[in-house]
Amino acid sequence: MPTDTSLELFHLFKSLIKKANEIWNQSSGDTFTISQYRMLNILGKRGKHKVVDLADVLQVTPGAITGMSDRMIRFGLISRIRDDVDRRVVYLEITDEGRAKQAELGAKYHALFADVLNQIPDEDKAHLQRIFTHMHELLESSSKE
Find the DSSP H helices in 28-95: 34-46, 51-58, 62-74
CATH 1.10.760.10 for domain 28-143, yes or no, is no
pTM across the whole model: 0.75
117 in Cβ contact with 125 (< 8 Å) = yes
Q: What is the mean pLDDT of each run of 10 residues along the chain (145 residues)?
A: 84 90 76 87 95 93 94 95 88 96 89 89 96 92 76
The angle that helices 34-46 and 4-27 make with each other, rounded to 10 degrees, is 90
Domain boundaries of the chain, sorted by first residue: 28-143
92 in Cβ contact with 80 (< 8 Å) = yes
